[in-house]
Structure 1
């Protein structure tokens, strides 16, 4: 059995081999054999069995459903992506396209392009896609993207390749860059070279226009160099300083977030007489770089500012970095119990919130309706239940927050537990703003009303797929009361073909049911 397993990837073992018999399940019971990694290929039979089961996405938030799409696209298995799109009810092909491109999965991108126009998939984010693809070093994807009939800015790809240290790809892209090169584009390349290229490459770009960089760009170049993962990062810093790049708090911030050897870089700066202060502490805490944070708090001995507000705990709490918040507290840095509690709830970061309540007290954190709404925004039923067990207040706005999170399980839990409801229609507005039909269907099933429908319809017309607008009409949404000029204003930024389809759909609806309905 071990010999068979040696020829299989981990997902195949978890989803197929372990299910052969009880002996196989017992033999491969460790977490490395039971954890399914969605970003890697999953056997289609197992993927479909799980995600097409009724209620499979009930406990996922809107963002988690988007993550499911992204991870599946990155795996390169088209059959699984089809299943994921069905399971999530999402028509956001652009999300999968971007992720698949960055993962180098040409087959997924081609499949999506067969079903959508390049403009619909790429839209205004083409530069970011090309930048991210080049940062990963995927030349075959760059070649394919540039072959599409889409206006590209080569500097996006070249700067991405430079940031990722892919010098050959950067050179290949630069050959395709028409002259003349604009000064702003050169600035982007210099900043990218400071991040991912060696000193020689940085010097070459600098000769083309480094002296003309704006002051802020020079500060950023120095910060990029201190955070660079190239072995000659220190040489780049010293050379840039010799060219007139001034030191700033950004340099310490970038050093404090460097994962590889932040304490060593900070010590190097400290020995040179660089200023290490509150900004560096805040950066380390926000990045959950405990080694850097401990060095700054204990070795350098940085103290909180006199006005008490420093933001380090805020940045750490937003990301749920419990250990960083605890380190700040142990070092005597004051914590914002009220603000940190709401950030922890919205995370959701239950362990952090529980620690804040236990350490600073319920009165400091304040278990009121604002905290409950923050938790509802997370979509975490576990956290909502934890708060109610401790007597936390709630109100009808929790439904809007849960709808914005897009979690069916949270909405159902609120109704089952008797949370007060209103008839303002705001939950529908939140769902329509996100083009989230799964949540909108749930709201209708739970008995929520459209309210006056203005904001909900405005959001749907501006961004939702045609299928969601059609569904709203089929479910009795009073679209007829909205004038044609108002509708045209709502759809003005959509592609012309989509505008025409929506206007035609609404006109057919108006003729069928009459005005005002």
Structure 2
């Protein structure tokens, strides 16, 4: 299993509410939640939110202890997730843990999430604990979520008369939100409320409300769109096809309706809709836009970046039929870039089609393809790319050492033990810079760290130049010359600057920095002085304890 697959497993078990199974899953995944990097932030949010949305307090407590997140950050994630699902008792428990959780920063997202779900009691609790919370965005969230009762209750706290007369931008936003989430009857009531102040909207101000009807998931979207057009007149239809593509699982009926009211698509305005649909794999909608009823791409449009992105999005998500449709329509398709996207995201069938259609040009530089395959953690893809390399009369022994280093590092980042052992079995030149350890440590991936140790990968050379970012500052703080660092010191320093505590402790136990001449005290002082957002404060506390 790759690291992402282990993360998904943890999320599933966390949402089940079975604490014992969650303990087993945490031990098997051997993965510490961490917020370093966008993907990991998503994971840390997801695993905590999964338990909170299911309302399982014991699972939340277990994950709170295991998380690398600061307690206030982790509790904030849990509070918002619990509020969105209507778990009042869990919200109250979160507030009891930290009084500062009632601040605007943390309770405002909870209020908006509760409003979007129509959970009135949680909204009341949020405002009871902090009466100064901003209510405007919560009103909009309730309207978007199709919760008219909650919307009306929150509006009563705002004073509708003041809003309708003195805050026209909010009035437009509210009407837009209601058109997206509520039924037409609710929209009409809002429009006619207290004399109908919305009657004074200009044609330009009606544009966003009209787009909202096309994004709407309610069954009466067309009735709402016709109602808006009757009041706004011709709206020029800016980004209308994009709105329809974003809002509907099957946007073709909305495309047909737009054509019926003489709003035509154009590549200058609506090419983003094609990109979204290509990435989603909606073949019928892509073919409609590229067909006689859609837009005819103007001369030179094929060179536009957005046009090329359509193919890349389709390749990244493995939508081979969409790629075929784009190529048939004459849209640009860079086989090498598309292949890299397909490989990195684990889509072997798409890669095979690209190779059949474009030959070796689909692979571009075979080294880049191998790096992307290692990043995916897919054994099938790695083997397929290796087979193509052998067909070219080459092998791993012919590779540049830097490319071999990249393959090992990406395989370590993927967290797939089988991929790492496959590289070892193939005899791929091993890196001596310790970078695979750093990549795994930053991800909080203890399991991969242990695999790297089992494969006897080097922690790093006796000396190495500092990389361009954090290590250089650390070296300056330590007042040591880079070429005098003991073996593996660079690896440990870079990991300590960004990894969760469990990963740093594991590296320390295996690498024993003190025995190699690197003292923890100067490392601790440098990290303490840096105060960077990525430094795990638990690492700081642990280092301080080791110095006592």
Scaled by the length of structure 2, the TM-score of the pair is 0.69
Root-mean-square deviation (CA, aligned residues, Å) is 4.0
Relative to structure 2, which stretch is displaced further, 345-354 or 274-283? 274-283
Relative to structure 2, which stretch is displaced further, 273-282 or 450-459? 450-459
Deviations 1:334-375 (A, max 9, x none): 212111110000001111111111112212432510111011
Q: Are residues 1:280 and 2:273 paired?
A: yes
Relative to structure 2, which stretch is displaced further, 186-195 or 428-437? 186-195
> Does the CA contact (< 8 Å) of 1:249 and 1:279 recur in 2?
no
Q: How does 1:278-427 map to 2 (within 5 A)?
A: 278-298=271-291, 300-304=293-297, 306-308=300-302, 309=304, 310=307, 311-366=309-364, 368-391=366-389, 395-396=403-404, 397-427=406-436
Cα separation, partners in 2 of 1:504 and 1:492, compared to 1, 3 Å: farther
> Does the CA contact (< 8 Å) of 1:190 and 1:221 recur in 2?
no
Shift of 1:187: 5.9
> Does the CA contact (< 8 Å) of 1:256 and 1:289 recur in 2?
no
Query: How far apart are the structure 1 equivalents of 2:312 and 2:185?
Result: 40
Task: Tell me which residue corresponds to 1:464.
Answer: 499
Task: Tell me which residue corresponds to 1:266.
Answer: 255
Task: Tell me which residue corresponds to 1:103.
Answer: 54
> Does the CA contact (< 8 Å) of 1:262 and 1:292 recur in 2?
yes
Task: Tell me which residue corresponds to 1:92.
Answer: 33
Cα separation, partners in 2 of 1:104 and 1:125, compared to 1, 3 Å: closer
Cα separation, partners in 2 of 1:362 and 1:495, compared to 1, 3 Å: closer
Shift of 1:182: 6.5
Cα separation, partners in 2 of 1:386 and 1:495, compared to 1, 3 Å: closer
Q: Secondary structure at the match of 1:370?
A: helix
Question: What is the aligned counterpart of 2:73 among 112, 123, 141?
Answer: 123
Query: How far apart are the structure 2 equivalents of 1:367 and 1:229?
Result: 45
Shift of 1:167: 6.8
> Does the CA contact (< 8 Å) of 1:423 and 1:448 recur in 2?
yes
Q: Are residues 1:157 and 2:98 paired?
A: no
Q: Secondary structure at the match of 1:230?
A: coil
Deviations 1:36-76 (A, max 9, x none): xxxxxxxxxxxxxxxxxxxxxxxx11111111111111122
State the aligned residue count.
444
Relative to structure 2, which stretch is displaced further, 298-307 or 353-362? 298-307
Shift of 1:186: 5.8
Task: Tell me which residue corresponds to 2:449.
Answer: 440
Query: How far apart are the structure 1 equivalents of 2:89 and 2:210?
Result: 32
Task: Tell me which residue corresponds to 1:28.
Answer: none
Q: Which stretches in structure 2 are left out of the alignment for 5+ residues?
A: 35-43, 146-176, 465-487
Q: Secondary structure at the match of 2:440?
A: helix
Deviations 1:413-463 (A, max 9, x none): 001101122312221221122121211121122122122546643453244
User: In terms of Rg, which structure is larger?
Assistant: 2
Q: Secondary structure at the match of 1:391?
A: helix
Task: Tell me which residue corresponds to 2:148.
Answer: none
Q: Secondary structure at the match of 1:178?
A: coil
Cα separation, partners in 2 of 1:68 and 1:136, compared to 1, 3 Å: same
Question: What is the aligned counterpart of 2:6 among 65, 75, 81?
Answer: 65
Q: Secondary structure at the match of 2:389?
A: coil
Deviations 1:362-395 (A, max 9, x none): 1243251011101110011111001111116753
Query: How far apart are the structure 2 equivalents of 1:488 and 1:204?
Result: 58
Query: How far apart are the structure 2 equivalents of 1:151 and 1:499?
Result: 27
Cα separation, partners in 2 of 1:122 and 1:331, compared to 1, 3 Å: farther
